Amino acid sequence: MKGKQTVLDMVRSLAVLGVIVGGIYIFIPHDEKADPTRVVDYRVETITARRAAPYPLAAPVGLAKEWRATSVTYERKNSNAWHLGFLDPENQYVAVEQSSDPSEKYLASVTQQARATGRTQQVGGTAWEVWDGPKYDALVLKGDGHVTVVTGTGSAEQLGAMAGALEFKKG
């Protein structure tokens, strides 16, 4: 019957499409070793958040190029929460978290249930509280009406490097 397609015709069409797609995959260059990390530019968000935040907002200055920013948010409605996430040179996660909510609930949330150790770590002449946790460790700096946390899976040295690079500025 003319005009009717058969299952065999459909199979032939799919085979032709498969050959075309396979050829495209083989002959179009792609780098399987490329880093899939999406890097973000946080400069504009930092300027905007510094105008809105009721506390001196922290952002790093002078980090080596191997530090890659991967996320940035400022949520005024969520206790003025500032978040800046990075992958450090060892591909470990390090985040800067700030909020006008210095409660234990907030700290438990951003540190993934880390707890204060009672120890401090000197970073640039400032004593940061050392927190240890099952997933993240953290350095915590409590201010007047706000808190700054450097947290993540990075080593104590990398957390300290991030804390030392932070510049606190208001609007």
Q: Can you spell out the DSSP letters for 74-141? A: EETTTTTEEEEEEE-TTS-EEEEEEES---HHHHHHHTTS-EEEEEEEEETTEEEEEEE-SS-EEEEE
pLDDT higher than 60, residue 1 = no
Tell me the domain boundaries of the chain. Answer: 43-169
Q: Counting Cβ atoms within 10 Å, is residue 163 exposed (0-12), middle (13-18) or buried (19+)?
A: buried
Over residues 90-99, the mean pLDDT reads 97
For residue range 4-50, list pLDDT tens digits in order.
Answer: 678 888 888 888 888 888 777 777 776 666 556 788 999 999 999 99
> Looking at domain 43-169, which CATH architecture does it have?
2-Layer Sandwich (3.30)
Residue-level pLDDT at 25: 74
For residue range 112-159, list pLDDT tens digits in order.
Answer: 999 999 999 999 999 999 999 999 999 999 999 999 999 999 999 999
Residue-level pLDDT at 33: 63
Residue-level pLDDT at 30: 61
For residue range 138-147, list pLDDT tens digits in order.
Answer: 999 999 999 9
Q: Counting Cβ atoms within 10 Å, is residue 128 exposed (0-12), middle (13-18) or buried (19+)?
A: buried
